[in-house]
């Protein structure tokens, strides 16, 4: 067991006290199961305030499910989904999308985790040719797996391109809050208002216990979702316990406080280590993570004390993740430990 702070994942933190309280507050009495309860109604209304009256909102257990089932609802088995080659969807969902949707993920190389029209264009081939997977969705991650964020205009441009080619725009928003906090905009400014069609909206990485939302900005797209969610093993019986978490998460700017703090800690960490000789920060630090190259020996030495991951097992690039519970003093100590580890090698 490591005695120091953990920069491995924003999933390694616990649950915010407000969320725990919310769980306790809905515990009394009988409540109809599967989402027909008053707590779910309230949470959905709160979300419609944010994402628009025309949206359709559904809760699932986790982000992998939000991605896979949201996409399954709007794609056929012969479709292709364009995503960054670093996208969680293609790298870290154990080919769930291929297995459960039947579609092809087209992995597009991009150095900073962000897609652009120019990057996608060469992959837009075979439309109407029965031998080839049919382009149908562009999937963005906001904030990206590389810690970068899409500006509203960038998203709008991708949305326009998608729609012009009869495609949809999907957004994996596991860290949408971190992106909004960094960009200093409302949540919907970087999804529904700039052309996103389907969103996975995440809470777990930002202080919730479990639960993720799928948002369809045009409810006509959501027609089959309830069947696909049940079939997809993601209809929770005691729905009130997910709904109340979202209610609390969206109240009193809890989402924003948590995300801002996590981002700030990443920025602090970046400032602390950017000038250490031997450390090379490899991505712009925007959301709550820092990517850096550190010599191999230092990684090994540091991992005896701190939990964090290599980005790729073949390289010496590491991912350092901050969360709503990261303490400034732990960031400072960690930076200090990196400095020491480098001195020692």
Query: Vertex 132, ends 131 and 138: CA angle to 5°?
Result: 165
Only one of the segments 204-212, 213-221, 259-267, 277-285 lies at the binding site for a copy of itself (rule: CB under 8 A); that segment is 204-212
d(CA 186, CA 172): 17
Q: Which helix (H) or strand (E) holds 56?
A: strand 56-60
Q: Quick check: helix, strand or coil at residue 173?
A: strand
Which residues, 317 to 336, sit near a copy of itself by CB under 8 A?
A: 325
Q: Quick check: helix, strand or coil at residue 289?
A: strand
Stretch 247-286: interaction string toward a copy of itself, x if CB under 8 A: ----------------------------------------
CB of 205 to a copy of itself, least distance (A): 8
Q: What are the E-state strand segments in 184-243?
A: 198-202, 212-216
- Cβ nearer to a copy of itself, comparing 108 with 199: 108
Q: State yes or no: residue 6 binds a copy of itself (CB under 8 A).
A: yes
Which residues, 90 to 119, sit near a copy of itself by CB under 8 A?
A: 90-96, 98-100, 102-105, 107
- Contacts of 156 by beta carbon, 8 Å cutoff, 6+ apart: 194, 195
- Cβ nearer to a copy of itself, comparing 156 with 257: 257
CB of 92 to a copy of itself, least distance (A): 4
Q: State yes or no: residue 293 binds a copy of itself (CB under 8 A).
A: no
Which residues, 148 to 177, sit near a copy of itself by CB under 8 A?
A: none
Per the CB < 8 A criterion, the answer to whether 292 and 146 are in contact is no
CB of 142 to a copy of itself, least distance (A): 19
Q: State yes or no: residue 79 binds a copy of itself (CB under 8 A).
A: yes
- Contacts of 311 by beta carbon, 8 Å cutoff, 6+ apart: 291, 317, 318, 319
């Amino acid at each position: 067991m490591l005695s120091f702070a953990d920069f491995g994942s924003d999933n390694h933190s616990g649950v915010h006290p407000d969320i725990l309280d919310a769980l306790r507050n809905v515990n009394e009495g009988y409540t109809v199961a599967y989402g027909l309860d008053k707590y779910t109604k309230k949470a959905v209304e709160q979300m419609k305030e944010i994402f628009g009256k025309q949206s359709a909102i559904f809760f699932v257990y986790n982000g992998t499910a939000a991605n896979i089932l949201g996409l399954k609802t709007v794609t056929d088995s012969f479709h292709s989904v364009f995503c960054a080659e670093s996208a969680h969807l293609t790298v870290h969902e154990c080919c769930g999308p291929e297995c459960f949707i039947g579609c092809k993920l087209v992995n597009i190389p991009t150095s900073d985790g962000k897609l652009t029209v120019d990057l996608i264009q060469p992959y837009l081939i075979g439309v109407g040719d029965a031998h080839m997977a049919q382009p149908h969705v562009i999937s963005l991650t906001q904030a990206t797996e590389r810690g970068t964020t899409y500006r509203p205009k960038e998203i709008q441009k991708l949305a326009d391109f998608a729609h012009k080619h009869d495609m949809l725009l999907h957004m994996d928003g596991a860290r949408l809050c971190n992106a909004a906090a960094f960009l200093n905009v409302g949540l919907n400014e970087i999804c529904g208002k700039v052309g996103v069609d389907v969103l996975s909206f995440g809470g777990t990485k930002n202080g919730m216990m479990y639960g993720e939302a799928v948002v369809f900005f045009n409810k006509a797209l959501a027609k089959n979702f309830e069947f696909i969610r049940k079939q997809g093993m993601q209809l929770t019986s005691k729905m009130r316990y997910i709904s109340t978490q979202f209610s609390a998460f969206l109240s009193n700017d809890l989402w924003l406080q948590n995300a801002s703090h996590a981002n700030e800690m990443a920025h602090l960490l970046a400032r602390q280590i950017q000038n250490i000789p031997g450390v090379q920060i490899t991505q712009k630090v925007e959301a709550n993570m820092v990517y850096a190259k550190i010599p191999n020996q230092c990684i090994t030495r540091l991992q005896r004390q701190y939990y964090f991951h290599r980005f790729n097992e073949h390289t010496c690039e590491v991912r350092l993740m901050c969360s709503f519970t990261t303490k400034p003093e732990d960031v400072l100590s960690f930076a200090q430990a990196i400095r020491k580890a480098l001195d020692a090698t």
